[in-house]
Amino acid sequence: MRIIAFEVREDEVKIFEQLKAEFQMEIVYVREALKEENAYQAAGFEGVTILAGSKLDKVLLNELKNYGVKYISTRSVGYNHIDLKYAKEIGLKISNAAYPPYSVADYTVMLMLMTLRHYKQALFRGNVNDYSLTGLQGREMRSLTVGIIGSGRIGTAVIKNLTGFGCRILVYDKNRSEAAEKMAEYVELDRIYRECDMISLHTPLLDSTYHMINRESIDRMQDQVILINCARGELMSLPDLIQGIESKKIGALGLDVVEQEDGIYHRDLRTDIITNRDMAYLRQFPNVIMTQHMAFYTEEAVESMVRLGVENLVQCINGEDCCFLL
Ligand code: NAD
């Protein structure tokens, strides 16, 4: 059996090599994301695995189909980089990697605490021997109402983490999770906006969730609300976040993802010109913490992402039951 893996990072290779031996298969590695220019490399492979930097639109999906590809696995939970509907139309099977939620859930709580305790400012000050306390007074989690939007695997794991802090937890999702229900109160979205001191997003990027955080929803929130996003940047309107920070309606932002991060995050751009102006502007505020889409990035999660990405393809190619998105 042979598969081809695109967007392979150095830290993934060891795991791919283990799986290669385990399944006695051949795996061809390509460092770059899959795009029209290099799709020819997939010719003759039934199975292709990618990460979220490979944007599989209609043109690319057609190209892959013509090269004989049948199965595509993304080694990510999110799948908004793939035109799933069209893939289904042309008979391509797509799977994602529902790896354990703990890496992102832990990171979410870290961003919550960092924003609450003004950690960015404290860290910056220490670097120039400024050990003053002015402006650094924080708040305790136990005195807050925290809102979780999306109670899937990650949202529920965040709620579990939060139970140790003793905060009041409200949650909104169209689908209720039995586990979340035991730890938090399900409410309508409007109550999340109106009552929460801190709101954390854990929904996929869908047409229905695109820019759900915008000027109008921010207006409905508590003054000095803290917003955390470890899901997808496009859930939030970047200009509206800037407006919220400038007007001091938003107290702090903890963002592991940002709108139009593609081509920027996961690269060393020290000597390049960054064209996402809004992102660069937002980053400079003292109460905005931004990281490079790395909430997932733990040894445990990467091991699982690569394993699931490969196993999904092996199962499909062997004609066994496998978990497709559509
Ligand atoms: P999941 O599918 O288990 O849960 C998503 C939940 O969102 C579901 O319960 C669903 O009902 C809910 N939902 C969908 N639309 C909604 C809406 N309009 N309002 C409220 N809830 C809605 O997914 P998950 O594993 O918990 O992951 C969530 C998202 O986190 C992924 O889609 C991905 O985009 C993101 N993610 C980010 C990172 C990172 O490194 N920053 C890593 C993994 C996943």
Question: Which has the closest alpha carbon to 117: 136, 142, 143, 141?
Answer: 136
pLDDT of residue 26: 97
pTM of the model: 0.95
pLDDT at 321 over 80: no
Binding site membership of 204 for ligand 1 (Cβ less than 6 Å): yes
pLDDT at 294 over 70: yes
Q: Quick check: is 300 catalytic?
A: no
Gap from CA of 98 to ligand 1 centroid (Å): 11
pLDDT of residue 320: 85
pLDDT of residue 326: 59
Gap from CA of 155 to ligand 1 centroid (Å): 7
Strand, coil or helix: 157:
helix
| DSSP state at residue 323 | -
pLDDT in tens, 142-200: 999 999 999 999 999 999 999 999 999 999 999 999 999 999 999 999 999 999 999 99
Q: What is the C-alpha to C-alpha distance for residues 287 and 253, in angstroms, rounded to an integer?
A: 7
pLDDT at 122 over 70: yes
pLDDT of residue 280: 95
Q: What is the C-alpha to C-alpha distance for residues 254 and 228, in angstroms, rounded to an integer?
A: 5
Torsion angle of the four alpha carbons 65, 69, 75, 78, in this order, in degrees rounded to the nearest 10:
20
Gap from CA of 251 to ligand 1 centroid (Å): 24
pLDDT at 322 over 80: no
Task: Compute the average pLDDT of residues 294-322.
Answer: 94
pLDDT of residue 22: 97
Asked if residue 21 lies in contact with residue 282, where contact means CB atoms within 8 angstroms, the answer is no
**Average pLDDT of the residues of the chain:** 97
Q: Which two tokens stand for residue 68?
A: 């004989």
Q: What is the CA radius of gyration of the chain?
A: 21
Which is it for the CA torsion 120, 279, 151, 173, positive or negative? positive
Q: Which two tokens stand for residue 81?
A: 């980089």
Give nearest CA residue, ligand 1 atom 42: 296
Binding site membership of 244 for ligand 1 (Cβ less than 6 Å): no
Higher pLDDT, 260 or 319: 260
Binding site membership of 235 for ligand 1 (Cβ less than 6 Å): no
CB count within 10 Å of CB 149 equals 24
Task: Compute the average pLDDT of residues 251-260.
Answer: 98
pLDDT in tens, 52-102: 999 999 999 999 999 999 999 999 999 999 999 999 999 999 999 999 999
Asked if residue 15 lies in contact with residue 303, where contact means CB atoms within 8 angstroms, the answer is yes
Binding site membership of 293 for ligand 1 (Cβ less than 6 Å): yes
pLDDT at 323 over 90: no
pLDDT in tens, 274-291: 999 999 999 999 999 999
Task: Compute the average pLDDT of residues 16-42.
Answer: 97
Q: What is the C-alpha to C-alpha distance for residues 67 and 63, in angstroms, rounded to an integer?
A: 6
pLDDT of residue 69: 97
Task: Compute the average pLDDT of residues 107-116.
Answer: 98
pLDDT in tens, 91-100: 999 999 999 9
